[in-house]
C-alpha cells in the first residue's frame, strides 16, 4: 500500500499497561503534539523514534529519549519503541487476517476494540470474567443500529409493491446477525 493511501494513526502505549489509539487527521508536528498532550501524562518518560515531530513534544515531558531507526538503532538502555510496534503488529495482523477491510469512517471503532483488548489483557491481571464484565459495562447506554443492505432494500421494495410485508423476514435476519456478531465478539474477548 502506498504511503498516500495509509491512514495516520497515533498510538500511545504505556509499558506494562494500557494503550490509546487515535486516528490523526494528518501527520504534522502540531497534530501529533495535540494528540500526545491530550492523552499522555507529561510527568512520564516519553520514548519515540527519531522523527522530528517528537522533538518539541519531548520537552514537555519528565524525560524524552529516542532511538534512531535509520541508523539501525532499535534499543538503547530503556529507550525503545518496541512496545508500540508490538501493538501495531497485533493491530495490523487483526486487520489483515480477521477483518480484511475497514472503511476510514469506522477506523476509530476498530482502534477502540484493539485498545480494549490490549488494555484488558491477562498480563495486567484481568481475567476472562472481569474482561467480559468490563465489555458489557462499556456497552451500557449505547444502542446498536444497522442499516439495511441494498439487496434488503430492493427486496423490501418488491414486497411492498406486491402488498406483502417483510417485517418478519427483516426482524429474523437482524436478530440472527446481531446474535452471531455478539457471540463472535464475546469469544474474542474471552481469549
Q: What is the pLDDT of residues 84-94, one digit of tens each?
A: 888 888 888 88
DSSP secondary structure code for residue 16 in this structure: T
Q: And the C-alpha cell for 108?
A: 476509530
Q: Are 35 and 23 in contact (CB under 8 A)?
A: no
Q: What is the pTM of this model?
A: 0.68
Give 116's contacts (C-beta < 8 A, 6+ positions apart). 134, 135, 138
Q: What is the pLDDT of residues 97-144, one digit of tens each?
A: 887 777 888 888 889 999 999 999 999 999 999 998 898 888 877 766
Half-sphere exposure of 180 (CA within 13 A, CB side): 6
What ranges do the domains of the chain cover?
3-103, 120-191
Phi then psi dihedrals of residue 93, to 5 deg: -60, -40
Cα 169 to the center of its chain, rounded Å: 33
Biggest CA–CA distance in the chain, Å, is 74
- Tell me, what's the pLDDT at 105? 85
Predicted confidence band at 1 (pLDDT cuts at 50, 70, 90)?
very low
158: left (phi over 0), alpha (psi -120 to 50) or beta: alpha
Average pLDDT, the chain: 75
- Tell me, what's the pLDDT at 125? 93
Percent of the chain with pLDDT over 70: 73
- Tell me, what's the pLDDT at 74? 87
* Closest to 51 in 3D by CA, of 31, 66, 35, 33: 66
Compute the distance between CA of residue 99 and CA of residue 186 in angstroms, rounded to an integer.
16
Phi then psi dihedrals of residue 11, to 5 deg: -120, 130
Q: Are 42 and 69 in contact (CB under 8 A)?
A: no
Q: Is the pLDDT of residue 60 over 80?
A: yes
Q: Is the pLDDT of residue 169 over 90?
A: no
Q: What is the pLDDT of residues 5-52, one digit of tens each?
A: 678 888 888 888 888 888 888 888 888 888 888 888 888 888 888 888
Amino acid at each position: 500500500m502506498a504511503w498516500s493511501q495509509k491512514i495516520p494513526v497515533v498510538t500511545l502505549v504505556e509499558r506494562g499497561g494500557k494503550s490509546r489509539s487515535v486516528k490523526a487527521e494528518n501527520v504534522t508536528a502540531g497534530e501529533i503534539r495535540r494528540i500526545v498532550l491530550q492523552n499522555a501524562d507529561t510527568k512520564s518518560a516519553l520514548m519515540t523514534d527519531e522523527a522530528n515531530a517528537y522533538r518539541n513534544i519531548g520537552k514537555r515531558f519528565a524525560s524524552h529519549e529516542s532511538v534512531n531507526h535509520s541508523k539501525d538503532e532499535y534499543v538503547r538502555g530503556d529507550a525503545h519503541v518496541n512496545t508500540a510496534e508490538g501493538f501495531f503488529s497485533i493491530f495490523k495482523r487483526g486487520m489483515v487476517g480477521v477483518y480484511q477491510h475497514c472503511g476510514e469512517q469506522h477506523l476509530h471503532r476498530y482502534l477502540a476494540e484493539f485498545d480494549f483488548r490490549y488494555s484488558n489483557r491477562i498480563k495486567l491481571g484481568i481475567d476472562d470474567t472481569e474482561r467480559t464484565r468490563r465489555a458489557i459495562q462499556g456497552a451500557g447506554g449505547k444502542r446498536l443500529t444497522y442499516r439495511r443492505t441494498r439487496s434488503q432494500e430492493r427486496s423490501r421494495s418488491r414486497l411492498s409493491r406486491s402488498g406483502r410485508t417483510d417485517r418478519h423476514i427483516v426482524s429474523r435476519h437482524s436478530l440472527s446477525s446481531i446474535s452471531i456478531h455478539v457471540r463472535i465478539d464475546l469469544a474474542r474477548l474471552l481469549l
